[in-house]
Structure 1
Amino acid sequence: MGTEQRSWNTAAALTEDGERGAPASAVRGEEEEEDEAEHVADAVAGSSEVPTSSISIETSLPQEHMKPGIVELCKDLFNKWSSLDDTNFLIEKVSGGITNLLLKVSVREDKETTCLTVRLYGPNTDIVINRERELKAIRYLSAAGFGAKLLGIFGNGMVQSFIEARTLSPEDMSKPQLVAKIARELRKFHQVVISGSKEPQLWNDICKFLDKAVSLKFSDNVKQEKFETISFEEIHGEIAKLKDLTERLNAPVVFCHNDLLSGNLMLSEDEEKLYLIDFEYGSYNYRGYDIGNHFNEFAGLECDYSLYPDKDVQYLFFKNYLQFDKAEVSDEDLEALYVETNTFMLASHIYWAIWALIQAYASPIEFDYLGYFFLRFDEYKKQRDRCFALARGYLSARG
C-alpha cells in the first residue's frame, strides 16, 4: 500500500463524504429538559472529595513484589491505616484482562476487615482511554448507584469499594432472566445525566483511533507484513457509508457504557442485584450502539458470532428496556429498536477493530490484537449487507 493511502485527515475526509452531525435542535431540547437533573447530579457528584496520591505501581512486577507498593499506597491514601503493620494487608489478584489489572486488598483492623479494589491501568492505555472523562463520569454514576464507589486516585490507577458478587460469563448473558435484568439496568444507566457536552463520541473516537492507526510501524517484521495487508482506504469508505446510514435513524443520544461485555457485569450471590462496572470507555453516545455492542459481546473474546442473540432474545431485551417508561410496547417500537441496534452493531465491530490495531502496537499484554482486528473487521463485512438492507428497507418504508 502506498504512503498516500495512509496520510489523510480522517475527520476532514468524513466531512467531505457528507457528515451531518447530531441534530442541533434535538441536542438543545435534551439540554433544556435535563438542566434541573444536571444541577442535582452536579451537587451530589461533587459532595465529597476523593483522596489522591502521586504513587504509581509497577504493573510488570510479580504480585508478591507489588505488595510493598500497594501497602504504601493504601497508607498514603487513607490516614487511618498509616500505623498498621504490613502484615495486616492481604493482596489477591481478582482479574487480569486485556486492559487493566484488578487487585483485591483486604485490610485487617482489630476485629474488622475492610476490602477494596485497586485497579491498575494497563501500560499505554491512555492512548485509547480518556481518563479525565472516565473519572468525571464515575462520580456521577457512583452518585446514581452504579458500579463501585470511587475511594481514591493514584498515579496509574484508582481505588474503589469491593463488590461481593460474581462476574458473568458470555454464556450467562443469553439466559432469559439475565437478558431482562441487564436490559432494565442498562435503561436506568442511560437515564444518568453527566454534566458537560452531550455530543455523541462514537465517530470522534473512531476518527482519533484511525488517525493513529494509519501511521503505525511495527518492529516485528511478521506483524508489519500483516499490518500492510490492511486497506485504510477501504476502512475509511466503510466508516463514511455506515455513519451516513446511522445518522438517518436519528437514534437517541444517552450516556453509554460502551463496553458492556460479560466481564463488566456482576451478579450478587442471591442473583437479585446486577452491577454494571468499569466505565473507562463511557461517554455520551447513541443508544443503539451501546445495545448493539453488548449483543456483539455474547460472542466472547473468542469471537464466536454464532452466539449473537437471535431476534427472539433481542426482542426480550428490547421489551424490558422500553417498558422502563412505557406501559405498552408496540410492535413498531420493537422493530425500530431492532433496526437501530443491528445497524449500530456494525459500528461496534469497526470501533474495536481499529482499537485493536493501536493495542497491537502499544500494549505489552500477551494477546493477539492484530488477529483480533481481522476477526472484528471480517465480521463487519460479513454482516454489512444484511444490516444495511435492513436499515434501508426500514427507512424506505417510512418515507
Structure 2
Amino acid sequence: MGAVKNIWNEREVAEAPDCSQIQIPTSSLSVDPSLPLPQITPLITELCKDLFEKWSNLDDSCFSVETVSGGITNLLLKATAKEEDGNEVSVTVRLYGPNTDYVINRERELQAIKYLSVAGFGANLLAVFGNGMVQSFINARTLVPLDMRNPKLAAAIARELRRFHQVEIPGSKEPQLWIDTFKFYEKASSLEFDDSEKQKIYKTISFSEVYNEIVELKELTSHFNAPVVFSHNDLLSGNIMANDEEEKLYFIDFEYGSYNYRGFDIGNHFNEYAGYECDYSLYPTKEEQYHFFRHYLGPDKPQEVSDTDLEALYVEANTYMLASHLYWALWGIVQAKFSPIKFDYLGYFFLRYNEYKKQKEKCLSLARSFLSRSEAG
C-alpha cells in the first residue's frame, strides 16, 4: 500500500532500554487454576511467601486472595498481604490455563513484558513461577465491549495503541501473523477428539477450504506494505483497564504480543467490539473507525489527519480484520482439543469463520480497488 507513509519518524520510536540485567524472583511451585477459591487460597499464600522474602515470615492469616477475572485462557487473582507495619500490599497472580503452550510463546511474552513495563505499559513483572507470574496490582476497572464505543475512551485507546506500537523489543522483527496462523492450521487440521459429538462437528470443517482462504488473504495483504510494529494482538476489552478518576488507561496481558502488521492489531481490536458472544452488529462503523484513526495517526492534532491517510488505514485495518477471524477461528479448534476451560471453542470457530466469509467479498473488493488506484497513481 504505497500511499501509506510511516506515521512517526525515527526520533519518536522509543529507545529499547537494556532490560537484560533485570532479575526477578522465581519459584518452581505451580497452582492448579481449576481448584475452587478456598483451596487455591492457601496455595497462593505459600507461593507468595516463597517468592517474596519480606512476606516469608508472615502468618498465613495475614493473606487474603480473591478472584479478579477468569477468562478463556487464564485465571487472575488478587493476593493481599498485611505487612508487619500494618500496611496492606496487593499483587496480581496470573495462573496460565493448562496446555496454553500450544498457542502461546511464554518465553517471548516474558521478554516483552520487561520492556513494555519499562515503557509504562501494563503492570510491573514482580516474579514468575511454575505456571504463571506475579505482577503489580492495577487499581482500575476492566473495560467491557460497549466501553470501546465510547468516543472519549476510543480516542484514548487509539493514542495508547500508537504509543504501544512505538516500543522497540529486542529480537526478531519478523511479523508473526502468517507464521502463527499456519502453525495453528497445522495443529488444528490433524486432531481427533475423544468426545464423539465434538469429533462429528470437527469432521464438518473443510480444512482445504480454510487453507486456500489463508493463502489468498496472505497474498493480497503482501501488497499493502503495512508497517510492522510490536503489536498486542489481543486487544479485547478484558485486556484494557481504566482508572476513571485519574483518566488513565492500561493495556494488560501481552501473552500474544509479537512483531506484527499494524493493520492486524487495529483490525483485531475492532473485531473485539463484538465481545465473546461475537455480536458483529457492534463492529465499529466507518465514522467510528475514522474517529479512532484520527487519534492514532495524529494524537496531538487529530482533525489535521488527511482523508488520504484515513482511507488508507481504513482499507488496511479492514482487510487484516479478515486475517483476525481466520487466526482466532483456528485458535478455537486447538483450544477445543486441549483447554479444560468450559467454553464452546468449536462453536467459536464457526462464529469467527462464518463472519470471515460474510465480510470477505466486501473487504477484498475494497482492498483490490484501493490497491489498483494506488498503483495507477
Q: Which residue of structure 2 lines up, in the alignment, with residue 58 of structure 1?
A: 32
Q: Which residue of structure 1 lines up, in the alignment, with residue 310 of structure 2?
A: 334
Give TM-score scaled by structure 1 length. 0.89
2:277 to 287, 302, 313: 302
Check if 1:157 corresponds to 2:132: yes
2:173 to 193, 198, 201: 198
Q: Which residue of structure 1 lines up, in the alignment, with residue 41 of structure 2?
A: 67
Deviation at 1:392, TM superposition (A): 0.3
Q: Which residue of structure 2 lines up, in the alignment, with residue 90 of structure 1?
A: 64
Deviation at 1:342, TM superposition (A): 0.3
Q: Which residue of structure 2 lines up, in the alignment, with residue 385 of structure 1?
A: 361
Count of matched residue positions in the alignment of Structure 1 and Structure 2: 369
Superposed CA deviations along residues 333-377 of structure 1, whole A, max 9, x for unmatched, are 000000000000000000000000000000111100000000000
Deviation at 1:287, TM superposition (A): 0.2
Structure 1 unmatched runs, 5+: 1-28
- Percent identity over the alignment? 66
1:233 to 208, 213, 238: 208
Check if 1:146 corresponds to 2:121: yes
Q: Secondary structure at the match of 2:94?
A: strand
Q: Which residue of structure 1 lines up, in the alignment, with residue 238 of structure 2?
A: 263
Deviation at 1:69, TM superposition (A): 1.4
Letter in 1 for 2:326: I
Check if 1:49 corresponds to 2:36: no
Letter in 2 for 1:391: A
260-269 or 325-334, which deviates more:
325-334
* Contact kept in structure 2, 1:89 and 1:108, CA below 8 Å: yes
* Contact kept in structure 2, 1:182 and 1:274, CA below 8 Å: yes
Q: Which residue of structure 1 lines up, in the alignment, with residue 3 of structure 2?
A: none
Q: Which residue of structure 2 lines up, in the alignment, with residue 367 of structure 1?
A: 343
* Contact kept in structure 1, 2:16 and 2:169, CA below 8 Å: yes
Q: Secondary structure at the match of 2:352?
A: helix
Superposed CA deviations along residues 270-307 of structure 1, whole A, max 9, x for unmatched, are 15100000000000000000000000000000000000
* Contact kept in structure 2, 1:98 and 1:367, CA below 8 Å: yes
Superposed CA deviations along residues 188-225 of structure 1, whole A, max 9, x for unmatched, are 00000000110000000001111111110001111101
Separation (CA, whole Å) in 2 of partners of 1:91 and 1:352: 32
Structure 2 unmatched runs, 5+: 1-5
Separation (CA, whole Å) in 1 of partners of 2:348 and 2:186: 19
Letter in 2 for 1:165: A
Separation (CA, whole Å) in 2 of partners of 1:323 and 1:87: 52
Q: Secondary structure at the match of 1:41?
A: coil
Superposed CA deviations along residues 46-86 of structure 1, whole A, max 9, x for unmatched, are 35311110011122211111122111111111111111000
Separation (CA, whole Å) in 2 of partners of 1:160 and 1:150: 5
Deviation at 1:326, TM superposition (A): 7.1
Stretches of 4+ moved more than 6 A in 1?
A: none
Separation (CA, whole Å) in 2 of partners of 1:375 and 1:68: 39
Q: Which residue of structure 2 lines up, in the alignment, with residue 99 of structure 1?
A: 73
Q: Secondary structure at the match of 1:193?
A: coil
Q: Secondary structure at the match of 1:103?
A: strand
* Contact kept in structure 1, 2:17 and 2:118, CA below 8 Å: no
* Contact kept in structure 1, 2:73 and 2:100, CA below 8 Å: yes
When the two chains are superposed, the root-mean-square deviation of aligned CA atoms in Å is 2.0
Letter in 2 for 1:366: K
Aligned ranges 1:215-294 → 2 under 5 Å: 215-270=190-245, 272-294=247-269
Q: Which residue of structure 2 lines up, in the alignment, with residue 394 of structure 1?
A: 370
* Contact kept in structure 2, 1:190 and 1:254, CA below 8 Å: yes
Deviation at 1:387, TM superposition (A): 0.2
Separation (CA, whole Å) in 2 of partners of 1:163 and 1:396: 47
* Contact kept in structure 2, 1:42 and 1:195, CA below 8 Å: no
* Contact kept in structure 1, 2:274 and 2:280, CA below 8 Å: yes
Check if 1:170 corresponds to 2:157: no
Separation (CA, whole Å) in 2 of partners of 1:308 and 1:148: 29
Separation (CA, whole Å) in 2 of partners of 1:211 and 1:230: 14
Give TM-score scaled by structure 2 length. 0.95
Is the alpha carbon distance of 1:93 and 1:366 closer, same or farther for their aligned partners in structure 2, counting shifts above 3 Å? same
Separation (CA, whole Å) in 2 of partners of 1:291 and 1:184: 12
Separation (CA, whole Å) in 1 of partners of 2:174 and 2:299: 24
